[in-house]
Amino acid sequence: MDLRNLIRVINDFPEPGISFKDITTLLRDAEGFRVAIDQLVDYGKMRQVDLVVGPEARGFVIGAPLAYALGVGFVPIRKPGKLPAETMRKEYSLEYGKDALEMHRDAIQPGERVLIVDDLLATGGTIRSSVDLVEQLGGVVAGICFLIEISSLNGRSKLSSYDVHTVIQYD
């Protein structure tokens, strides 16, 4: 199955010059969604992880079923002010702006092997910040996976010392 056929591309969203990869069309296709998660599960099984971590919001959509299939817990990384307990914060740059992420201070124990997952690797800012939060808590980043990678944005360069897997690639 060619999963690229299930991704809707919207040009000039959220601003001119951006080619947005909309995964909602893949998510609504039961077989396509299953195939995509199964491919990530195959990668995750090789990493022998204790937890899956995913940033808000599409990282939740991909990460939660991945964690379930791997039989491990899921840790959300959220936008500032969304988590109720004590948090750690990391600011980062987006392809089209700046933002910050937070994670509970007690979400990861030192030495736990973590698989970080998100829907899209673009410039790498979101995931680099997620990596930093995991490592600040003593977690070991066992792998990083994405449904989609836009290789022309060179986000992989921010993750060069990590094992990175993507299911779909765009230039």
Residue spans per domain, the chain:
3-170
CATH top-level class of 3-170: alpha beta
Do residues 74 and 63 lie in contact, with contact meaning Cβ atoms separated by under 8 Å?
A: yes
Amino acid at the residue 146: F
Q: pLDDT digits over 26-44, tens only?
A: 999 999 999 999 999 999 9
Residue 115 makes CB contacts below 8 A (sequence gap 6+) with 44, 47, 49, 51, 52, 53, 66, 70, 142, 143, 144, 145
As a whole number, the mean pLDDT across the chain is 95
CA distance 80 to 102: 6
Asked if residue 163 has pLDDT above 90, the reply is yes
Asked if residue 2 has pLDDT above 80, the reply is yes
CB neighbourhood size of 84 (10 A)? 7
- Residues with catalytic function: 58, 95
